[in-house]
Amino acid sequence: MTTVPPGTKAEPCARIERGQGCGVERCGLCEARAVSICNAIEEDQLSELARATTVVELAPGEVFRNEGASPEYLFNIISGSVKLFKLLADGRRAVIGFLTVGDFIGFGRPDAVPCSAEALTNVRLCRFERGKFRVLLETYPKLERRLLAVASDEVAAGQEHMTLLGRLTADERVARFLLARAEASQRLGGSSKDLELPMTRSDIADYLGLTIETVSRVFTRLRRKELIDYKTARSVTLQDRPGLLAISEGG
């Protein structure tokens, strides 16, 4: 089991910021607009949206949201990848999910952030101050509706993951993980065969409820069976999708 020595990676946060003054066009030109909740807001009201946001840039490893803290900010990911995680008192870690372009960070109880967030790659975030975000929600019912739909989706995704953690074998978990990655990649216009994994084996292990060693062993087993292939650990090719699917379903 990977354990994290207490007091690691609590880096300051928020290296570079671009002010709000970039004009009305910023949100209209946003690379993430097509896939983010912001597209619930009409073109002609984007200036108001832009005024409520700040763009933040992060380097890999930066933690920008801390479990237990008061939720001052909400975020939309403009580019890059992020992981959400929880730490136990003794250092055990659970990775809750991996997020990318268009994903929203901000659900949870109103009093405390449910899990920490860390940049896996260089990341650009669109940051909302909580109060301003609330005003936006009240002003744009469409945005609220959209957000409810996203939260509702997330509930379902969470239930799916609980099933994986509670009832699947290591092989099944890894196979599902790879297939889910492929789907996510495809959804963003990427390849559904060649995957770039922005996370380490340790992240994957903590996400799947396994150890690094087990994840590694399953990867090599899948490679030996020629279901996948890879030269570096981070870029994997899915060679036999049906085979992976079979394994993911307990074949």
Partner DNA sequence: CGTAAGATTGACTCTATTCAACCACGGTGG
Partner DNA sequence: CCACCGTGGTTGAATAGAGTCAATCTTACG
Residues that bind DNA (CB under 7 A): 1, 169-171, 200-202, 209-217, 219-220, 230-234
* Residue 54 binding result from DNA, a copy of itself, none, given CB thresholds of 5 to 8 Å by partner type: none
Residues in the chain: 251
CB of 219 to a copy of itself, least distance (A): 19
* Residue 145 binding result from a copy of itself, DNA, none, given CB thresholds of 5 to 8 Å by partner type: a copy of itself
CB of 201 to DNA, least distance (A): 3
| Residues at the interface with a copy of itself (CB under 8 A) | 1, 84, 86, 88-90, 92-94, 96, 107-110, 114-115, 137-138, 141, 144-145, 147-149, 151-156, 158-163, 165-167, 206-209, 249-250
Name which of 103 and 206 has its Cβ closer to DNA: 206
In 3D, which of 203, 53, 211 has the Cα closest to residue 126? 53
Helix (H), strand (E) counts: the chain: 8, 12
Q: Collapse the DSSP code of 103 into the 3-class scheme (helix H, G, I; strand E, B; otherwise coil) and give the result.
A: coil
The beta strand positions in the chain, using DSSP E, are: 16-18, 53-58, 63-65, 73-79, 82-87, 93-99, 104-105, 116-119, 123-129, 194-196, 228-230, 235-238
Residue in this structure with the two tokens 């005024």, named with its chain if needed: 51
Name which of 67 and 229 has its Cβ closer to a copy of itself: 67
What Cα–Cα distance (Å) separates residue 93 from each residue in 15, 133, 166, 170? 25, 30, 17, 18
CB of 181 to a copy of itself, least distance (A): 18
Name which of 30 and 204 has its Cβ closer to DNA: 204
Q: Collapse the DSSP code of 195 into the 3-class scheme (helix H, G, I; strand E, B; otherwise coil) and give the result.
A: strand
What's the order of all strands across the beta sheet hosting 53-58? 16-18, 53-58, 123-129, 73-79, 104-105
Name which of 88 and 233 has its Cβ closer to a copy of itself: 88
Name which of 109 and 224 has its Cβ closer to DNA: 224
CB of 220 to DNA, least distance (A): 3
